[in-house]
Each structure stands twice: as C-alpha cells, then as structure tokens.
Amino acid sequence: MRPSRRVRRTLTRARLLLRRARQRPVTAALAIILLGIALLALPVLLRTPRGDRLWADEFARTTTAALNADGTVSFRNMRDWSYGDGRVRTEDWISTLTVNPGDIVKVWFILEPFAEWKAVGHTFLSFELTDGSAYAFSVEARREQGERYSTVKGLFREYELTYTWGTERDLITRRLLYLKHPLRMYPLAVSPQAAQTLFRGLIQKSNDLAAHPRFYNTIGANCTNMLATLVNQISPGTVPLDITWYLPGHSDEFLMRIGLIKTDMSVTQTQAAYDLTPKRAQVLEIAQSPHAAFGTALRRIP
C-alpha cells in the first residue's frame, strides 16, 4: 500500500532531522525521538476506514435514505430495538420506512451525562412528527463484535464513525432502561421549517458517510462536536464553538445560554424539569408500545 501524504511527510521530516543531526550532534537525541514517534504512529496512520467489518449487533446495519420526488424520505435499516429493565427484549430493524419531513413539528436535544465525570456525556437529536412518532439521530463510535469502547483507543483510529438512525423508543430506552444511564430531554427553540431542513441535511450526511467511511476520534470527531459541525454545515452559525463541543456534559447549559433551550428558570430547575431519570418506572411501562405510541405517551408523563 502506498503511504498516505501525511505518512510520507512525517517520514521525510524525520529523515531531514537525522541528516542535520550528523552535522549538529546536540539534535541527535531529538531526531531519534521524533523518528521513534513516527515509526510508532505509522501503523495508525496507515489504517483505512471500512464499512464492512464484523460489527457489534447494534451497529450491524448501515442506515441510508432516499429523497423521493414527492418530498418524502425512504429509510433503509432503521433500528427499532426494544429494551426492558437491564435487558434487550427484541432486536428489530425496520427494513423500509417512509417519512414525510414536512410532518416534523419539533426537534429534541437529549443529553446522557456520564456519572464518572460530569463534564463528559453523549448527545443526540430526536425529530417529532405530527402523528406522535419520532426518529432519533446519534453520532457514535462503531464498535466491532466483542469490542468495548475506550476513550484512549478512540484517539488512534480504533473505531469507525457511524451515524445511527433509530426510533426514539430505541435510543431513549436503550440508555434509560437497559444501560440505566441518566437522561435529560429538551425541546429546541427552532421552527418546524428549520427542523425539517436539519432532518434532510442529516440524511444527506448519513448517505455520504455510508459511501465514504471515516474514523471516529475522541477529541476531533466525537458525538457532540460532529453533531455541532453537521448542524452548522446545514445551517451555518447555529451552534457557536464552545468547550462543550469537546466536554458535552454541560452542553445543555450552553444551549440555554445561547437561547436554543428556552427557559425562565435557573439551570438546575430547568435540568430537573426535563430530566427523564426519575421517570424511569413510567418509561418502563410504555417501553413495549409501538414506536409512534411511545412518543406520544412519553411526552404525557408528568
């Protein structure tokens, strides 16, 4: 395999330093160190992203969608798993699903804080339709069979990037019931038209990724900064650059500050008002409902 331009550039710089080291002995140690780093980095830089690995079951299929002439969207391989209390109940996929983006009335921002460190977490979006159904979009690290996620490994091209599309029931109950993670769910202050534009744009981005795989990166291409980047590519300037792009555990507070989450309460009161975690038992009661009915019932929980 022909080395990439980045690899060739790194090796060229290392060789140049070695030649200079013969003339300047004081730089020899630095040159050797840099050459060692280049050699250690070489296997990582030579890795190429692929879409045909033996993926973990929840990532086994790649979601794509076609934009139809009548304005509707036809999804292929929409995930629709269902979960109980700490267990997976069904592993269903919707092979074909047609959605009318014109029926989208609201987009929701979901934050999954990580208990170990409040500054980190996972974020995703859910698009609510007039009939109560909702479909979620999440940027994730695509793991292979038997592979566990590691933030350190995520820095070194260990995982491919994936754009996961699933029913809201799937993505909400997976985290809240199966993984038993805390979850906060906020309506975003954007118009239905803006939500529809974002939905269509994310579909195009998903098709692009399916055709041209790329790597996930813990810092440079993670769930939140990729989501913010995609939103800004579709609607420039919507989400200003902020530290929460990289430490998303406080991303809801940032969205409150810039007005994308509207509230007249304090941060703590707003977080409590939109916290699904205390409602886990009520969510468990509706977790096996059809996904359209689930969305309606979820929003009626007091």
Average pLDDT over residues 134-161: 93
pLDDT at 69 exceeding the cut of 60: yes
pLDDT at 47 exceeding the cut of 80: no
Average pLDDT, the chain: 89
pLDDT at 191 exceeding the cut of 90: yes
Helices H / strands E in the chain, number of each: 9, 10
- For the stretch 266-277, pLDDT in tens is 999 999 999 999
Nearest to 6 by CA among 52, 34, 44, 56: 44
* CA 223/CA 104 separation, integer angstroms: 23
143 vs 13, residue with greater confidence: 143
* CA 129/CA 126 separation, integer angstroms: 10
pLDDT bucket at 151, cuts 50 / 70 / 90: confident
Q: Are strands 104-113 and 160-167 parallel, antiparallel or unpaired?
A: unpaired
In a 3-state reduction of DSSP, which class is residue 40? Answer: helix
Identity of residue 258: I
- For the stretch 214-225, pLDDT in tens is 999 988 888 999
* CA 120/CA 163 separation, integer angstroms: 20
- For the stretch 96-136, pLDDT in tens is 999 999 999 999 999 999 876 788 899 999 999 999 999 99
pLDDT bucket at 32, cuts 50 / 70 / 90: low
Whole-prediction pTM: 0.86
* CA 33/CA 251 separation, integer angstroms: 39
